[in-house]
Homo-oligomer: A and B are copies of this chain.
Amino acid sequence: MNIRFYNGRVLAMDEDMEVQKGEVWVQGNRIVYVGPGEDADGKNPPAWDREVDVEENLIMPGFANAHTHSAMTFLRSYADDLPLQEWLEKQVFPLEAKLTGEDIYDLSKLAILEYLTSGITCNFDMYFQPEMIARASVDCGFRTVMVSSLNNFTSSLEAMEQEYVKYNDYHELIRYHLGFHAEYTTSEELLKGVAALAKKYQAPVFTHNSETRREVEECTGRHGMTPTAYLDSLGLFEYGGGGYHCVYMTDEDIRIFRERGMTAVTNPGSNTKLASGIARISDMIHAGVGLAIGTDGPASNNCLDMFREMFLVTGLAKLKEENAAAVPAQEVLKMAVCGGAKAMGLADCGCLAEGKLADLIIIDLKQPNMQPVNNVVKNLVYSGSKQNVKLTMVNGRVLYEEGKFFVGTEPEEIYQKANEVIRRMTGRTDER
């Protein structure tokens, strides 16, 4: 499909972060032109399949959800109001054990619908059964980077290596990174095996890191080092990678992240709801650490909404530092778009430019929460909402527009399946 978006305000998310009136042209799955329109005649593709009047609304790259567990949608509003460890052990693990592959396929699709409503065009998904996750994404036309959740109880080094090889050569929408669940669920022997694979493939490694105070204290008790320092000492981050959550980071941890070129993926919604704490975002920005934003899974958040996360990133930093100027809106938007794409290794996502992948969104500025248009970037971060997402395009295909989904399945069918999963597991027939 050749699609021309014209009459837009374009926020390309390049260095200067300026908004320019203009056009974006898409040919197949790539952007072939971004600019004012008049100077681009020579580049005009033979024929437009569709011309979209953006009506002076905002066109920009989609958000990258840099940490999630998509298929946990079934637990939304089921298990709440518990601290992390209890929540995992009493509520999450027993029900997860009952999930079938088919469940994971359907539940991942439910999450993808929600990503699309929030302008999210790719996710960094840590969950079981990568084949089912990959199929759900490919069937919907959504972009997913998977990461292994290897630990002492599930998966193995052999399985991870096979998956790594398979899913990096599976489909243009799918990538796979080495990873493991967390220091506290993974033996040193296994971690050394992950380090060997990282070396073999010169690949980055991702894991949950320093999410709670207890996690850091227990790791320090076991190894005399923080999770970051301990994992680094095993050679896990020789080729970079990153940590999810990164709430309780020491100065030394931050130094290691910067030196290794790692990304700290912050998850403020989840860290708030589970009472885990507030990350040191300003300190990491000032140290030059790569930053990205993730929703975490829907069981702990409980929604998959980049607008909520963006407000929380800056808002919680302001509260933590008692400084209303902490983490300005521009920084937050860069994290949500470019920082996420970079962490996930999606070099062709995260900005609108010729040759980049056509993962983009249109934001409705003609809504009361976006008026007056004093500052588009601040409006997005401080008052934007899912209600403003008019269109979400992934890999050159419109998957969501004006409240309607184009993912090959009717949403009602996906909702029904999600309800069936949780009812089958719990034996509940009523709603609450």
Partner of A78, one of B111, B275, B318, B374: B374
Report Cα–Cα, A308/B304, bound state, in Å. Answer: 14
Residues of B within 8 Å of A377, CB to CB, are: 432
Closest to A109 in B: B368
Nearest Cβ on chain B to A258's Cβ, whole angstroms = 25
Report Cα–Cα, A77/B328, bound state, in Å. Answer: 12
Nearest Cβ on chain B to A418's Cβ, whole angstroms = 4
With A374-B76, A385-B385 already in contact, the answer to whether A277 and B366 are too (CB < 8 A) is no
Partner of A111, one of B316, B322, B368, B418: B368
Tell me what chain A mostly uses at the interface: helix, strand, loop, or mixed: helix
Question: Does A260 have its Cβ within 8 Å of any Cβ on chain B?
Answer: no
Interface size class of A (residues with CB under 8 A): 35 or more
Task: Say yes or no: B324 contacts A81, CB within 8 Å.
Answer: yes
Binds B, one of A143-151, A159-167, A280-288, A295-303: A295-303
Nearest Cβ on chain B to A209's Cβ, whole angstroms = 19
Type the 1/0 row for A7-49, where 1 means its CB is closer than 8 Å to any CB of B: 0010000000001000000000000000000000000000000
Question: Does A87 have its Cβ within 8 Å of any Cβ on chain B?
Answer: yes
Give 18 A-B pairs besides A77-B374, A302-B378, A308-B385 with Cβ atoms closer than 8 angstroms.
A73-B371, A76-B382, A77-B382, A78-B375, A80-B328, A81-B324, A83-B324, A84-B324, A110-B371, A272-B319, A273-B315, A275-B322, A303-B385, A305-B385, A371-B418, A375-B432, A376-B431, A403-B403
Binding site for B on A (CB under 8 A): 9, 19, 73-78, 80-84, 87, 110-111, 113-114, 117, 269, 271-275, 277-278, 298, 301-305, 308, 311-312, 314-316, 318-319, 321-326, 328-329, 366-369, 371-379, 382-387, 403, 411-412, 414-415, 418-419, 421-422, 431-432
